Amino acid sequence: MKVYEEKQIRNVILVGAPRSGKSTLAEAMLFESGIIKRRGTIEDKNTTSDFHEIEHERGNSIYSTTMHAEWRDHKINILDTPGLDDFIGEVISSIRVSDASLLLFNSQQGMEVSTEIMWNKISHLNKPTIFVINQVDHPKSNFKAALESIINRFGSKAIQIQYPLNEGEGFNSIVDVLKMVMYKFPTDGGKPQKLPIPESEKEQVEKLRSELLEKAAENDEALMETYFEKGSLEEAELMKGLKIGIQKQDIYPIFCISAHKNMGSGRLMSFINSAVPTPSECAPEKSVDGKEIVCDPKGPATLFVFKTIIEPYLGKVSFFKICSGEIKAGMDLANATTGDTEKVGQILIMDGKIRSTVERMVAGDIGAMVKLKGTLTNHTLHSKDTDKVVAPIVFPGPRIQLAIAAENKNDDEKLVVGLREAHDEDPTLHIEYSKELKQMILSGQGELHLELARWRLQHLYSIKTEFLRPRIPYRETIQKDASSNYRHKKQSGGAGQFGEVYIKVVPYKEGMTEPEGFSLRKKEVHDLPWGGKLVFYNAIVGGVIDARFVPAVLKGIMEKMEEGPITGSYARDVCVILYDGKMHPVDSNEISFKIAGAMAFKEAFLEANPLLLEPIYELEVIVPEDLVGDVMADLQGRRSIILGIDTQNNYQVIKAKTPLAELHRYSTSLKSITQGRAGFTTRFTEYTTLPGDIQKKLAQEYVASKAAN
């Protein structure tokens, strides 16, 4: 396969809401460029990008897919991404290595909440963007409304390059304001005729042309002077101004296509060649210490692995972008993360599951390798003449969690291995065994995201699993002072056990005064791993308890705080004063005082008006205005406190505080209420008092479970 040099390479990502036609557009681009000989369809389950079994089952993209099109002596690397924000990790990693984005809009819907979510990721990473209104051949296409929704959102930066004639089922023509021609396509799409612009359209075209010229000229002083002098710009000058504006993100050109009919994809690729910056024209990658990694084919070889997948018959496939230098088969590269040396085997260009080899690959290009030993996503491979490490992709934290368990306990070990490999493939999927909850917790971006992990376990590892409701990490504390004493005495022949302690517990509050009425000898403040504090005072006088036994008392209290008396949850924010006790010259030992300390603490805690605290999350829901009432009603049914409603562009953002216990399966509920037109984020904020009736119920359930065991 031909080797392309850096200036011939363009890296673009297809981004958009579900059903905006990203995979269909990718298929049209590959077909037009001759990479594939026949266009597949989503319905026939034979597109180049959506080739995984689970994607065929669901009928939409789940993984990002790398492909390429060869167009007029250029190589366009195409990264097709999922539209569902459950798989936002796939989108973010692909945006990171792209040099420009094609943001697709469904011509029936225009700007959607999902589009807004994707746009936020694009803008955060400062990527030049081209807007593409797709499906103008659909019977319900409304190009004008879709265009207005874009302009309302992006203002004067959104500049119209094209618009469709006779949109809908009879669509076959595009008016191009940049080229000043009308493209008329044959019935089955492909190469169009170039025709003069109809008389009926000339007034509108002249108006759009004037706006385009003015916007392009704004980006360069010399072009502005030329525009003022001549009142126009040559095509090369116009393209220069557009390219500068696109790169500065002052211009978002708007195109229209029918990916389904293959009408407009060739013109779009020509524009990509002309207007999208080359890798070296883009902002250079940064190293972990903030240094620039210049995209120079003659520089030291530096690869960044942005995606890892595990194929059943191929093994681990590592997708990379070359940030500097070039690579050839047989080279040795160092993994900056592990310190291992990796040998470059075959260098692959991946078009979905189709693999092609290439002799070498240069800076700016995107490729893949198989069976690298210890290399994972976010790892840097480099030659020995550099030590720069590419700054890692920052993936979003999890939004939901479920407990997962193998149906067959014999599969527990395989389950852990399978989930770890799933995390290696998808860093937004998190797995941990919670000592507190005594459950294996799987966390991710949404329920569909977690269901995919479960599907993988069954189909790749033959492990059947079940999802369980995760237990809630409540906290226990006290509301008043209480005292208690406990004597531990055990005599069973030989050396016995004896320890007696007297303690007082006091609620801890920040800035509180020291307890009175005691001879305080030593104060220890412990920041608890689960939040809150334990303050321990040694107030022993007269040597009634030997100093060597005091740490054992504290250890017993700490262990009891790991399983609070009300529900077995962690306890927090307690002061304990050890003020008296007794010991035996022979039978006293550390274990005796540890047990005495734990039991005295439990009794005092239960006398101190104990209280359960529940975790509260800050919830933000972005939703169309017409659905605000339905979402609010659902939130209020979840014990939420509504903090307010803000306007964000064309949407409403509901802010609320919601108990974690009420967020179980919220993503599914929100999708149902809004027909998938809303999105949400969560963030832990605080612990607050649990309502008394719920506390009583949980305490009774805990007592019953302890009795049953």
pLDDT (tens digit per residue) in 600-640: 999 999 999 999 999 999 999 999 999 999 999 999 999 99
Q: Which ranges of 33-87 does DSSP label H, i.e. alpha helix?
A: 53-58
Contact between 308 and 425 under an 8 Å Cβ cutoff? The reply is yes
Interacting residues of 603 by C-beta distance below 8 A, sequence separation 6+: 484, 486
The residue-averaged pLDDT of 252-276 equals 97
Closest to 273 measured CA to CA, from 94, 33, 64: 33
What does the alpha-carbon distance between residue 507 and residue 610 come to, in Å, rounded to a whole number?
10
The residue-averaged pLDDT of 558-571 equals 93
What does the alpha-carbon distance between residue 205 and residue 227 come to, in Å, rounded to a whole number?
18
Q: Hey, which residues does 319 pair with through a beta bridge?
A: 307, 368
The residue-averaged pLDDT of 25-49 equals 95
Q: What is the pLDDT of residue 493?
A: 66
Q: Which residue carries 């085997």 as its tokens?
A: 345
Interacting residues of 317 by C-beta distance below 8 A, sequence separation 6+: 308, 309, 310, 311, 348, 350, 368, 369, 370
Contact between 564 and 542 under an 8 Å Cβ cutoff? The reply is no
Closest to 342 measured CA to CA, from 380, 305, 372: 372
- Parallel, antiparallel or unpaired: strands 574-582 and 611-623: unpaired
The residue-averaged pLDDT of 659-683 equals 91
CA atoms within 13 A on the CB side of 541: 6
List, for residues 57-79, the tens digit of each pLDDT value: 988 899 999 999 999 999 999 99
Res. 709: pLDDT tops 80: no
The residue-averaged pLDDT of 536-562 equals 95
What does the alpha-carbon distance between residue 511 and residue 515 come to, in Å, rounded to a whole number?
12
List, for residues 22-33, the tens digit of each pLDDT value: 999 999 999 999
Token pair of 164 as six digits: 């469709």
What does the alpha-carbon distance between residue 256 and residue 126 come to, in Å, rounded to a whole number?
23
One-letter amino acid for residue 493 of the chain = G
What does the alpha-carbon distance between residue 460 and residue 235 come to, in Å, rounded to a whole number?
54
Q: Hey, which residues does 217 pair with through a beta bridge?
A: none
List, for residues 394-438, the tens digit of each pLDDT value: 999 898 999 999 999 999 999 999 999 999 999 999 999 999 999
What does the alpha-carbon distance between residue 64 and residue 89 come to, in Å, rounded to a whole number?
9
- Give Cα 338 distance to the centre of its chain: 24
pLDDT band at 491 (very low <50, low <70, confident <90, very high): confident
Q: Which ranges of 426-476 does DSSP label H, i.e. alpha helix?
A: 447-461
List, for residues 91-107, the tens digit of each pLDDT value: 999 999 999 999 999 99
Mean of all residue pLDDT scores within the chain: 94
Q: Which residue carries 């051949």 as its tokens?
A: 137
Cβ-based neighbour number of residue 137 at 10 Å: 22
What does the alpha-carbon distance between residue 29 and residue 266 come to, in Å, rounded to a whole number?
7
Decide which of 492 and 466 is more confident: 466
The residue-averaged pLDDT of 471-483 equals 96
Q: Hey, which residues does 324 pair with through a beta bridge?
A: 302
- Parallel, antiparallel or unpaired: strands 285-286 and 292-293: antiparallel
Query: Which 8-state DSSP code applies to residue 662?
Result: G
Res. 700: pLDDT tops 80: yes
Q: Rounded to whole angstroms, what are the CA distances from 16 to 232, 279, 473?
A: 34, 23, 37
Contact between 305 and 323 under an 8 Å Cβ cutoff? The reply is no
Name the phi and psi angles at 113, rounded to 5: -60, -45
Res. 650: pLDDT tops 90: no
Query: Which 8-state DSSP code applies to residue 263?
Result: B
Buried b (16+ CB within 10 A) or exposed e, 656-688: bbbbbbbbeebbebbbebbebbbbbbbeeeebe
What does the alpha-carbon distance between residue 187 and residue 261 come to, in Å, rounded to a whole number?
8
Q: Which residue carries 């994607």 as its tokens?
A: 55
Token pair of 416 as six digits: 């852990």
Contact between 369 and 11 under an 8 Å Cβ cutoff? The reply is no
In Å, the largest CA–CA distance within the chain is 112
Can you give the pTM of this predicted structure?
0.88
Which domains does the chain carry? Answer: 6-209+249-281 (3.40.50.300), 285-382 (2.40.30.10), 400-471 (3.30.70.870), 476-609 (3.30.230.10), 614-693 (3.30.70.240)
Query: Which 8-state DSSP code applies to residue 709?
Result: -
List, for residues 320-374, the tens digit of each pLDDT value: 999 999 999 999 999 999 999 999 999 999 999 999 999 999 999 999 999 898 9
Interacting residues of 395 by C-beta distance below 8 A, sequence separation 6+: 89, 92, 93, 427, 428
What does the alpha-carbon distance between residue 107 and residue 207 come to, in Å, rounded to a whole number?
23
One-letter amino acid for residue 399 of the chain = R
Q: Is 644 left (phi over 0), alpha (psi -120 to 50) or beta?
A: left
List, for residues 493-514, the tens digit of each pLDDT value: 667 899 999 999 999 999 999 9
Q: Rounded to whole angstroms, what are the CA distances from 448 to 401, 492, 588, 665?
A: 12, 59, 58, 11
- Parallel, antiparallel or unpaired: strands 252-256 and 129-134: parallel
Contact between 25 and 83 under an 8 Å Cβ cutoff? The reply is no
Q: Rounded to whole angstroms, what are the CA distances from 117 to 132, 252, 622, 626, 681?
A: 17, 17, 9, 19, 11
Q: Rounded to whole angstroms, what are the CA distances from 696 to 232, 606, 615, 701?
A: 78, 14, 17, 9
Token pair of 393 as six digits: 């992709």
Query: Which 8-state DSSP code applies to residue 344?
Result: -
- Give Cα 313 distance to the centre of its chain: 28
One-letter amino acid for residue 54 of the chain = I
